[in-house]
Each structure stands twice: as C-alpha cells, then as structure tokens.
Chain A
Amino acid sequence: MAKGLKFLLEIGTEEIPDWMIPPALEHLTKAFAGMLEKHKLPGRVSWVDATPRRLVLAAEKIEARQKDSVDVVTGPPKSAGEGAAQGFARKNGVTVDQLETVATAKGEYFAVRKQIVGRDTSEILAAELAGLILGIPWPKTMFWTKKGGPRFIRPIRWIVALLGSGVIRFEVAGIESGETSQGHRIFGKKKVKVSVAGYEKQMARNGVVVRSAQRRQTIENGVEALLGTGGLRLKPDAALLETLVFLTELPTPILGSFDRSYLGLPAEVLVTVMRHHQKYFSVTDADGNLAPHFIAVMNAPSDPEGLVVSGNERVLRARFNDARFFWEVDQNRKLADRVEDLKNVTFQRDIGSYHAKAERVVALAGELGGNEHARRAALLAKTDLTTDMVKEFTDLQGIVGGLYARAQGEPEAVARAIYDHYKPVSMEDSIPASEEGRIVALADKLDTLRSCLAVGMMPTGSKDPFALRRAAQGVIKILVEGGMATPFASLAGGNRELEEFLLDRVRHYFREIRGFRYDEVNAVLAAGVASLPDVLARLEAIRAVRPTPDFEPLAASFKRIGNILDQAGTEASRGTVDASLLTEPAEQGLHTAMQQALAVQESGSYEQRLAAIASLRPAVDLFFDKVLVNAPEAPVRANRLALLDTLRRGFSRIADFSEIVTG
C-alpha cells in the first residue's frame, strides 16, 4: 500500500493583519479537507500555519490518483418498452444490448454501468485551489489588479503548490503557482526554491520562522533572557503576545528603558501608551510596580548597533511627553465644569446628548439605591469624554475620569466608581469593586439598553453596534456577582422587549458562563425570577441535590403529576386536601410526608428544602403504585387531585421540576 504523497500550499501575500490570520487558517483547513472529501481523495491536513506574509497548509497521505469507480445510472422502467430503452441507451452512448436491468422495490429498471476512471489528483487540485484560496473569508477585502478583479485581504504575490515532487499548476489573480517562495523582506532571498520535505528549513535559512508556536517560544525565551534574574518581571499579556507572533516572521525581543520621571504619570496611561500605541510589553519590579522599562519585539534577528532600542525609546519618550501634556492641559478644566460640555457630545442621534444621558443615569442610580457618592459619580462619569487624554487614548475612558476625579479632590468613593463604571468590559473581567461603582455601572448600562431599545436599536444577528449584548451581560454579571437583590422585573423599566432580551442573556450567562445545565436553568427560570442572586442560589442548590439518587426520579414524578393535573383540567381544583377523605395508606403516607416537607419549605435553605422535596420520593412512588387517582367516586378523585396540586404548588417555588430532563 502506497504511503501517499505530501502536499504543500503556500499563499504568499503582502502583510495580512495579525488578528485575521488564525480564523483564516481555520477556514483553510476545513475547506481543504472538504475538498478532499468531495473528490473522495484520501489524505489529511497535517498542519496549517502562517506568518504575516504567508498562509501555509501541509497535507499528507494524498493518493496520486482517485480510485476508479463504477457508477450505475438507472433509466426508465423495463415496462416502458423498447423505445424508452433505445432513448436511454442513446443518451448514455451505449447500445441497447449493453443495458442492464436492476431490480428495485418498484420493479425492474434499465440501467447503464459506467466505468469511471479516477482523475489525477494534481488535475483536481489544479482546478480547485484557486477557488479555495479566493474563498477564504476576510473581514474586509480589497482589489488590486483592477476594478472587479479578485478580492483578498491583501495582494497575493506568489503561490507555492507542490504535490510530492511535482508542482500543481494553476493561476490566481494573475499569479502562476510554482515552487518558488520568498524569504523575509530584509533577511531572506527574494526567490527561494522550496520542496515539500525541506520547506520549513529552507524558509528558516531565509529569515522566516513558519511555525507560530516556534515564534511564540522564541519571544518567550528571549524575554526571559532579557529580564534575567534582575528582579524585573514581564506584565503578562497573552493577546499582545499573539499579535506579535502574527506580526513577525523572525521575532526577537529587545529591552528598552525610559526615564523614571515618567513613572509620575498614572500606570494606566503608561501601560496604554506602551501596549496599544507601541505594542510593547510592560515590565514590573518584584513588587508588581511598573518599572521604567519595556519590551518590544522586532521582526529582525538582532539589533547590532542598538539603533532599534534607541529608536523605540525615542518614540516612547515623545508619546509619554504627549500624555504628560494632555494631563496638564486637562487639569485646567475640572470634571465638574465639563458636565455642561456634555451637551455638545452626542450619545446617539435619536437619543440625544451625553448630558441628557448623565441626568438619566443619576436618577436611575438613585432608584437603584445609590448614595450621594454614587449619584455624584453618575453625574461625572462621562465628562472625561471631553478631555484631550481620552480623545487621544479612547481605551482609557472611565479610567481617566476616575484618575482626574481623584486628582481634583472628589471623594475616593466617587473617583473609584467613575474609574470602574465601564466594568465588566468582558465576561472575563471583574465587576466594579465598590458598591457605588456597581450602581453606576449598572445604571449606565441599563440606561443604554433602555434608551437604545426605545428607539428600535435591538441587536440583530452579528449587528450590535452599541454592544447591547455586552451591556446586558454586564448588568447580569454585576447583579449576580455583586449579590444585588434588585427586583428583576424593575430592570427593564416596563419595556417587554428589553425584559425578554435580558432574560435571554440570563439564560446565556448561567449556561455558558456559569456552566449550569440547560434544563436546570429552564426549571429555575420557569419558577419565576425575583432577583438574580436568588436565581443563582436556587441553581446552586439544584446542582448540589441533583446527584442524589432520589432527585431525578422525583423530577420524573413531577412531570407525571403535571400531566395528570393537565388532563384533569378544571377538575384539578385548587381546593385544600380533606384528610378525612384519604383512605388508602399510600395517600395518607404521602400527605404526612408532604406536610413535613412543606414545613421545611418555610424556613430551610434552598438545599435543605430541595433535600426535603427529594425525600418525598418513596411516598410519591408508593402513591402512584397503590393509588388510583382517577377514582370512580368524584369526591375521592377531587381530593386526590387536590393532593397532587398542593404537592406541585408547594414544591415548585425553587424550580419547575417538570423541566428537568431525566433518564
């Protein structure tokens, strides 16, 4: 059995934006595997990887040819007669005596047996690869040959396509595929002849580390070597590392320094300048304080004369000077004086200015029980949008407001609340640290949701320009994790659409973020939502009790009870149980057990209450085993229905157990 051939595809481009590369590789893998499958070609993708200038796919165990196959084409039924047979034969290029008959459930049919000769794999690849390449989806494409020409993320400049030792020839965007790659722009050859087996080594000799994992390792090792044992530490930043891995072909970290005097600026500002504007890692001392150093990653092997370090240091100095300048100028006008300026800052065209928003958020913060500090913070929270610092470093909105509030002598609680009020910015982020912060963050997000939905800005599909889903998710996270018992029904401010939207995000939060099973979430929500911390408490109780042996069988019984009561319709009166009508020992037993369990419902914790409910199982089982609910005597029947109804109502306040999926 042949081992099959190895295949290599390298799409050579101009620099692709780093963040678009991993999804493109994922698509490429699937598309290539799908193409093999479509043509029934054995083989598998062995790896994909990329640098900014090349997307690479390697495959193996590819056969040189498709297997020959036989295709049986069924024609008209035999009963259709000679004429039909002739027509069918002619259409398939055979004579009537070459026709076969096949038996089907509907009778005998004429058929033609066709020998399909397998095509050469190279021929299939040559026909498919151009479409495969241009089919990679990108967030924003361009044309470069001419209007209406092929579109890609950046111009394609070369293509390597090799199957074994042969070249797969095709053309895409005017580029002929071949066996010639390009090395690093500065540290490699313009033309590099490559082979399937030697590709990675050949590229490495030309300044290109093809594998992203290796580039990541190089950066990490380099950083470690630079920081040495001097007590300096890297401020870890996985996202920045990923960016740098896909921004370089030959990464090498360097350590730069800046003057200590800049440490007088807030660390947040310094880190933002380094990270977002310069793509530098920050460095801290052993105590976690920012140190006057940074780490940049070059796309070059070394910095022989120190020019790269000194160049980066100069750029950073200029940036820090700018930040210092903004800080000083911004202090000329206090945040409190800037409230009026918010009248000129539009929040959204149909909703109005940030000034109007600030007024609404202050009121809402009050309704949510916010104290004087919370209301003050709500008033000032958006004023930093008018500062030069935030105009320059938009990512620092809120944070700058908090820092300025502190510098301008606002109470610490106010400064802290402003600082935190955009939190949580993601599901991984923490919620605001203080009660005031949580209230302002909540009020701000709720106001955004209420006012956007009021003007019809409900997010649809991937369109969510105001990040309303994130705002709703933030509201839920703050309420749950902040233990805020704000009545859920009050959040939407009477907007039914918003209530549904929030409920949807509640489901999402508890399932996806907190990992509760979907039936548990459904069961708890079906029993009503008073407040979100209460929902959490009930879910945790269910999670704790669920593995006990009585729980799921009892849930199944609740489903049965539900069915019986539904079928009984109006007869399932909501009357009370008449103990004197309970004749069977099993129903008396259930009644007694139920009363004991009901007593626990009034005082116990959710877990105790659920345990008490679960303990009803033997009594319930015995009841269904021994007692006929639909007794012929109407009063007995009604009484038994009342018993079940009481049971269901009494024990469905934590969760609607019939929602639990059992078995």
Chain B
Amino acid sequence: MDSFQTLIFKLKKYWSDRGCILQEPFDMEVGAGTMCPETFLRVLGPDPYRVAYVQPSRRPADGRYGENPNRLYKHQQLQVILKPTPDDVIDLYLGSLEAIGIDLKKHDIKFEEDNWESPTLGAWGIGWQVMLDGLEITQFTYFQQCGGIDLDLAPAELTYGLERIAAFLQGKESIYEIEWAPGFTYADVRFADEQQLSVYNFEMADVTALWQLFDLHEKECQRLIDGFADSSEKSRYPVLATYEHVLKCSNLFNLLDARGAISVTERVGVIARVRKLAVGTAQLWVAQQHPPEPQPAAEVAA
C-alpha cells in the first residue's frame, strides 16, 4: 500500500516520463491548481506546454475545523496541463491510474459530464468528472476560454483529488487516517492547519482589514494593468506580479465569503471586480508573449 507521498511520487514520475515539466507548488494562496500562472497564463496563446505539479488549494468555506472526515479547507490537487491535447489523452490518463496501482479490470470507471467554469477567472471548459467505483477522483477539462480569451489550442487539464485517491487506495474512511509517510498520518501533518485556519476564517478574520487588503491589491493590480500600454519595455513588464495581485484578490474574496461578509447580492459585483483584473492580466500576458509585429519601418529617406 502506497503512502500519500509515494502516490504523489508515482504520478509525478508518470507525467514526467510523458514530457511534463515538473513544477513545485505555486507559493501563494490559490483556490485551485487552475489559478496558478502555470495553468492560467500558460494555456493562453499558441505555445505548446506540458506541466504537472501538486497544488495545495484553499477553499475557506469548505473548512470544517478538521472534524469532517471528507471535507478540507486546504486539499492537494495534482494538476496536469497538456497543450496541445494529444489525441490519446484519455488513454494516457487511464495509464496514470494503472501507474498508481489501480487495476482497471477490477474497478468501474466512468466519464460523467461535468463542465468547469470559473466566473472569477473568466474561464470555462468542457469535460467530465471521472468516477471510480462511484468516487469522483479527477476533473478532466478541455479548456475553451481563459481570462475571457478564446484559447488557440484547447489544452487538457487533469486535476486529481489526491486525498480522495489516497483514501480510496488505502481503504480509509477518513482523510485524516491516510498514511502520509510511514508512521505519519494525514492528521499528524495537517490537522492543526485545518483547525486553526477554520477558526481564523470563520471566527477571527477581521472583515474590515480583509476588505482593505482587497481594495489595496485591486488598486495595485489595476495600476499595473493600466501602465502596460505606455511601457517602453513591454518584454520585461511585470505581468506576473500583476497576476499575483489578482490571486490575492481572489483569495481575499473567498475569505470574506467564508466569513459571511458578502451578501448574495454583493457577490456578483465582487466576482465581476476580480474577473476584470483576471481578464486584464490575461490580455497583458498574451500581448507580452506575442507582441504585434513591428510596423515595417518607413523607407529611410535618402
């Protein structure tokens, strides 16, 4: 029986052997692996890319103080981006399940319609939830749009729910009982994290301070977006830093939401604010990667 970390090793090895760059987790708070620049920005434009990484993903509203065996404030996703999508992508995916020891002849696997959409990122795709013996283990998406921009290629995104897969493989009823490494359970490693962040997110986060932070990051992000057009050195313009402020806003929005500080009516408006930043940054990225051809110089006057 593989430990949690062995499971991760095997998946990384599998995708590394299939031409993926292995990235380390992005060092900021994100709600999903999709939000990392390695996905959100790299899927834009015509340049091929293959990457795999584990991303701790924070969903403040899903926190349960470490008391619910199936729900986490922060879970780990293994994110794989294949751009362009190879024709045999599903076979490749099924191969990864075999690689972690799932004998597909002894199980039941189904691809059930599940289209993905992120209003805050102006992104959506078509796909499935992959069900293994009735358990959703992966979200499979063909990206169609990101940051409001139609994608040149339609990359495939595979998002593995690592805790669920580990619990399934290890036959555990609770995520906290998963063996992370020999002698250490998931609870040993992460319980305090779940408990304390739930306390903070639900009880102690200062709503006024969070709103101020949101406003500050939004302002900084917008300033950077606005400055691009007049920049004389576009190739070194900090688009990536701009995007980091989008992520800050997105996480602050999630925190405020979990804190119950955003009414349903306000919600739509705040989502639109974050989306505006995400869309603006995506446009910058595309412009920076593939700047318009310089105008042919006017004939030099004799």
List residues of chain A with CB under 8 Å of any chain B CB: 14-15, 17-18, 52, 140, 142-147, 154-155, 157, 185-187, 190, 247-248, 278-280, 296, 298-300, 303-305, 307-308, 311-312, 314-318, 321-322, 325, 344-346, 349, 353
Map CB proximity to A onto B88-126 as digits: 1 under 8 Å, 0 otherwise.
001100100000000011111111110100000000011
For A296, list chain B residues within 8 Å (CB): 108, 134
Q: Could you tell me if A18 and B69 are in contact, using CB atoms closer than 8 angstroms? A: no
Q: Is the CB of A186 within 8 A of B109?
A: yes
Residues of chain A lying within 8 A (CB to CB) of residue B68: 321-322, 325
Q: Which residues on the A side are within 8 Å of B21 (C-beta)? A: none
B111, A147: Cβ atoms closer than 8 Å: no
Specify the main secondary structure of chain B where it touches its partner. Answer: mixed
B263→A344 contact, CB < 8 A: yes
- Bound-complex Cα distance A315 to B85 (A): 31
Given A186-B109, A248-B110, A322-B68, the answer on whether A344 and B134 have CB atoms closer than 8 Å is no
Q: Across the interface, do A304 and B109 meet the contact criterion of CB distance under 8 Å?
A: no
Cβ of A663 to closest chain B Cβ, rounded Å = 53
Q: Which residue of B107, B128, B152, B265 contacts A307 across the interface (Cβ within 8 Å)? A: B107
Given contacts A325-B68, A345-B264, contact A312 B134 (CB under 8 A): yes
B133 and A311 contacting across the interface, CB-CB below 8 Å: yes
Which residue of the partner chain, among B105, B106, B115, B133, contacts A312 with CB atoms under 8 Å? B133
Find B153's partner among A146, A298, A318 (CB 8 Å cutoff).
A146
Contacts of B109 in A (CB 8 A): 185-186, 299
B267's closest neighbor in chain A, by CB? A346
In the assembled complex, B150 has its CB within 8 A of some CB on chain A: yes
B63 to chain A, nearest CB (A): 13
Closest Cβ neighbor of B68 among chain A residues: A325
Which residue, of B87, B128, B151, has the highest number of chain A Cβ atoms within 10 A? B87
Say yes or no: B134 contacts A311, CB within 8 Å.
yes
A303-B108, A314-B135, A314-B171 known, 13 other contacts, Cβ within 8 Å: A15-B112, A18-B113, A144-B85, A145-B154, A155-B87, A186-B105, A186-B109, A190-B91, A279-B112, A307-B107, A308-B106, A311-B108, A345-B264
Between-chain CB contacts (< 8 Å), 21 pairs: A14-B90, A52-B111, A140-B126, A144-B142, A155-B87, A185-B90, A185-B109, A186-B94, A186-B104, A190-B91, A279-B112, A280-B134, A308-B106, A316-B134, A318-B69, A318-B70, A318-B173, A322-B70, A322-B71, A344-B265, A353-B265
Q: Known contacts A14-B90, A299-B110: does B133 contact A308 (CB below 8 Å)?
A: yes
Residue contact B142 to A317, C-beta cutoff 8 Å: no
Query: How many of B's residues come within 8 Å of A, CB to CB?
Result: 42
Question: Is B168 in contact with chain A by the CB < 8 A criterion?
Answer: yes
**Is B70 a contact partner of A142 (Cβ separation < 8 A)?**
no
Contacts of B94 in A (CB 8 A): 185-186
Q: Binding site of A, secondary structure by majority: helix, strand, loop or mixed?
A: loop
With A and B bound together, what is the CA distance between A344 and B262 in angstroms? 9
In the bound complex, CA of A279 to CA of B136 (Å): 13
Please, which residues of chain A bring their CB within 8 A of the CB of B152? Answer: 146-147
B161 to chain A, nearest CB (A): 12
- Give the CA-CA distance A184 to B265 in the complex, in Å: 48
B151 — which chain A residues lie within 8 A by C-beta? 147
* A52–B132 alpha-carbon span in the complex (Å): 17
Q: Nearest-CB distance from A298 to chain B (Å)? A: 4
The complex places the Cα of A314 from the Cα of B69 at a distance, in Å, of: 12
CB proximity of B86 to chain A, nearest CB, Å: 11
Tell me the complex Cα distance, A424–B132, Å. Answer: 36
How far is it, in angstroms, between the C-alpha of A157 and the C-alpha of B87 when the chains are bound?
7
Q: Report the minimum CB–CB distance from B211 to chain A (whole Å).
A: 17
**Cα distance A345–B105 when bound, in Å?**
48
With both beta carbons as reference points, the residue of chain A lying nearest to B67 in the complex is identified as A325
The 8 Å CB contact of A308, one of B91, B107, B173, is B107
Known interface pairs A299-B109, A312-B133; A142-B69 also in contact (CB < 8 Å): no
Give chain A nearest CB distance to B218 CB in angstroms. Answer: 23
Inter-chain CA distance A247–B128, complex, in Å, is 12
Most B CB atoms within 10 A — which of A147, A248, A312?
A147
**Contact check: which of B105, B133, B135, B150 meets A147 at CB < 8 Å?**
B150
Residues of B within 8 A of A155 (CB): 85, 87, 142
Residues of B within 8 A of A18 (CB): 113
**Set of chain B residues within 8 Å of A304, measured between Cβ atoms:** 106
Give the Cβ gap from A468 to chain B, nearest Cβ, in Å.
Answer: 21
Whose C-beta in chain B lies nearest to the C-beta of A352? B265
**Is B144 an interface residue when CB atoms closer than 8 A count as contact?**
yes
| Residues 143-162 (chain B) with a chain A CB within 8 angstroms | 144, 150-154
A17, B152: Cα distance in complex, Å: 25
How far apart are the CA atoms of A303 and B105 in the complex, in Å?
A: 9
CA distance A147 to B144 in the complex (A): 9
CB nearest neighbor in B for A186 = B104
Q: Whole-angstrom distance from the CB of A366 to the nearest CB of chain B? A: 28
Alpha-carbon gap, A303 to B125, bound state (A)? 33
> Which residue of chain B lies nearest to A248 when distances are taken between CB atoms in the complex?
B110
Q: How far is the CA of A322 from the CA of B69 in the complex (A)?
A: 9
Question: Given A146-B154, A147-B153, A186-B109, does the pair A346, B264 have CB atoms closer than 8 Å?
Answer: yes
A346 CA to B111 CA in the complex, in Å? 35
Q: How far is the CB of B292 from chain A (nearest CB, A)?
A: 18
The closest CB in chain B to the CB of A301 belongs to: B105
B69–A247 contact, CB under 8 A?
no
In the complex, what distance in Å separates the CA atom of A146 from the CA atom of B144? 10
Q: How far is the CB of A467 from chain B (nearest CB, A)?
A: 20
Complex Cα distance, B173 from A321, in Å, reads: 11
B residues less than 8 Å from A299 (CB atoms): 108-110
**Known interface pairs A186-B104, A311-B168, A318-B70; A142-B134 also in contact (CB < 8 Å):** no
A296 to B94, CA, bound (A): 22
Q: Is the CB of A15 within 8 A of B142?
A: no
Interface pairs A-B: 3 shortest CB-CB: A311-B133, A17-B113, A15-B111
Min Cβ gap A499→B in Å is 31
CA distance A154 to B140 in the complex (A): 12
Shortest distance between the CB of B100 and any CB in chain A (Å)? 15
Q: Which residue of A lies closest to B71 (CB)?
A: A322
Query: Is the pair A308, B126 in contact by a Cβ cutoff of 8 Å?
Result: no
Closest Cβ of chain B: how far from A257's Cβ, in Å? Answer: 14
Contacts of A305 in B (CB 8 A): 106
Task: Give min CB distance, A244 to chain B, whole Å.
Answer: 10
Chain A minimum-CB-distance residue to B143: A142
Name the A residues within 8 Å of B107 (CB-CB): 300, 307-308, 311
Q: Which residue of A lies closest to B264 (CB)?
A: A346
**Chain A residues within 8 Å of B105, by CB:** 186-187, 300
A304 CA / B104 CA spacing, docked (Å): 12
Q: Find chain B residues with CB under 8 A from A303 CB.
A: 106, 108
Assuming the A-B contacts A17-B113, A147-B153, A322-B70, are A142 and B90 also in contact, with contact meaning beta carbons closer than 8 angstroms in the complex?
no
Instruction: Name the residue on B nearest A305 (C-beta).
Output: B106
CB-CB < 8 A to B173: which residues of A?
Answer: 314, 317-318
Question: Among the listed B110, B153, B264, which residue makes an inter-chain contact with A344, where contact means beta carbons less than 8 Å apart?
Answer: B264
Complex CA gap A280/B108 in Å reads 14
Complex-state Cα separation, A95 to B264, whole angstroms: 81
Q: How far is the CB of A415 from chain B (nearest CB, A)?
A: 26
Q: How far is the CA of A144 from the CA of B90 in the complex (A)?
A: 13
A278 vs chain B, min Cβ distance (A): 5
Q: Is there an interface contact between A247 and B112, defined as CB atoms closer than 8 Å?
A: yes
CB distance from B124 to the nearest CB of A (A): 10
The answer to whether B134 and A278 have CB atoms under 8 Å apart is yes
Residues of A within 8 Å of B132, CB to CB, are: 311
Q: What residues of chain A lie closer than 8 Å to B104, measured between beta carbons?
A: 186
Within 8 A of A (CB), among B57-89: 68-71, 84-85, 87
Task: Knowing A147-B151, A307-B133, A345-B264, say if A298 contacts B108 (CB, 8 Å).
Answer: yes
Q: Which residue of B lies closest to A142 (CB)?
A: B126
Residue of B nearest to A325 (CB): B68
**Chain B contacts for A312, CB-based, 8 A:** 133-134
* A1–chain B nearest beta-carbon distance, Å: 44
Least Cβ–Cβ distance between B66 and chain A, in angstroms: 13
- A residues less than 8 Å from B70 (CB atoms): 318, 321-322
Query: How distant is A71 from chain B, measured CB to nearest CB, in Å?
Result: 45
Given A315-B135, A321-B70, A322-B70, A143 and B110 contact (CB-CB distance below 8 Å): no
